[in-house]
Amino acid sequence: MNECIEALEKSSAAVKSDLFICQWARSQQIAEEVGQHFFTSDPSASVDVSDLSVQYTLRVYEQQLDRWKAQVPSDLLLRRKC
């Protein structure tokens, strides 16, 4: 998937909506990693957020999201309207 995203991002034929979809796909990759890590597809699984290892893992994913957001071109970021 990364190869496809990179190819589309580097394409001279890519339009803004293509680049937006690339960033959406990158964010979903992170979300999928979180889901796989915490077994969210298993309804019987439980995650104790007071567990230090869970807190550490969540911080790692938060940092990963921050790094992703920092590399997203500002014109592709969605802005909240108040």
pLDDT at 79 over 80: no
For the entire predicted model, the pTM comes to 0.76
Q: b vs e for 23-47, b when ≥16 Cβ sit within 10 Å of the residue's Cβ? A: beebeeeeeeebeeebeeeeeeeee
Q: What angle do CA 14, 20, 23 make, to 5 degrees?
A: 110
Residue from 60, 63, 74 nearest 20 by CA: 74
pLDDT at position 75 over 90? no
Confidence (pLDDT) at 81: 60
Tens of pLDDT, residue by residue over 4-50, are 999 999 999 999 999 999 999 999 999 999 988 887 777 787 888 89
